[in-house]
Amino acid sequence: MLKVGLTGGIGSGKSAVSALLQERGAVIVDADRIAREVVEPGTPGLAAVVAEFGDGVLLPDGSLDREHVGRIVFADRDRLAALNAIVHPLVGARMQELEDAAARDAVVVHDVPLLTENGLAAAYDVVVVVDAPVETQVERLTGPRGMAEEDARARIGHQASREARRAIADHVIDNSGSLDDLKAQVDALWETLTRRAA
């Protein structure tokens, strides 16, 4: 099994690369998706978040108001640390379960947004960074996602710099061009990963 850490800043197009790798046969372990699952209604994770942040973080249907929590934690590093202390261990345990279930010759891609920030590069055989200029990230967040520019820049500012991510990369995918360009880079990457996995 080849363990790949895939990361990139918000709005870099990491999810697009993850989807392309999955199409080619990779087993995807998506930390963001798992982070949502571990705080679904009825989970111990959600109970712990409510105990820490109060009932005000819940929507009327009892689910977590992720946007509200995001505004709280991205404005206060201590509150972000408190949230991470609840969610990260739960995510880590679920990721390990999924990895354990993969075939022995699989390319297992861990889609980890905060891989650089949390010093996780050494946990993977290969680290792939999806990179895009900050202005491109801002355009993607404010355009299709409808985020306010101030919020977009704040979220980018709370993440590792492009330079810090690139410094830990074994492979960099430049996602500042066309979709065809992106697919060509992913094809070349997939060939390299499957060779190593075999």
Q: Are residues 112 and 172 in the same domain?
A: yes
Who's near 99: CB < 8 A, 6+ residues apart? 1, 3, 29, 108, 110
pLDDT at 95: 85
Number of Cα atoms under 13 Å in the Cβ half of residue 123: 16
Residue at 198 is within a domain:
yes
Q: Are residues 56 and 15 in the same domain?
A: no
pLDDT at 198: 85
CATH of the domain at 143: 3.40.50.300
Boundary of a domain, candidates 105, 139, 161? 105
Q: Are residues 97 and 144 in the same domain?
A: no
Q: Are residues 17 and 111 in the same domain?
A: yes
Q: Is the dihedral of CA 178, 184, 189, 190 positive or negative?
A: positive
Q: How many CB atoms lie within 10 A of CB 122?
A: 8
- Rg (the chain; Cα; Å): 17
Q: Which tens digit of pLDDT belongs to each residue from 20-78?
A: 999 999 999 998 899 999 999 999 999 999 999 999 999 999 999 999 999 999 889 99
Q: How many CB atoms lie within 10 A of CB 114?
A: 16
Average pLDDT, the chain: 94
Q: Are residues 90 and 116 in the same domain?
A: no
Q: Which tens digit of pLDDT belongs to each residue from 67-124?
A: 999 999 988 999 999 999 999 999 989 988 988 999 999 999 999 888 999 999 999 9
Q: How many CB atoms lie within 10 A of CB 117?
A: 15
Instruction: Beginning with the edge strand found earlier in the chain, give each strand of the sheet holding 126-131 in spatial order.
Output: 27-30, 107-111, 2-8, 126-131, 171-174
Boundary of a domain, candidates 46, 77, 105? 105
Residue at 83 is within a domain:
yes
Who's near 159: CB < 8 A, 6+ residues apart? 9, 10, 113, 114, 116, 117
Q: Are residues 44 and 97 in the same domain?
A: yes
- The total of structural domains in the chain comes to 2
Boundary of a domain, candidates 105, 125, 141? 105
Q: Are residues 91 and 58 in the same domain?
A: yes
Quick one: angle between helices 77-100 and 66-73, nearest 10? Answer: 120
**Rounded to two decimals, what is the model's pTM?**
0.78
Residue at 32 is within a domain:
no
Q: Are residues 18 and 110 in the same domain?
A: yes
Give the domain range for residue 79: 37-105
Q: Are residues 86 and 67 in the same domain?
A: yes
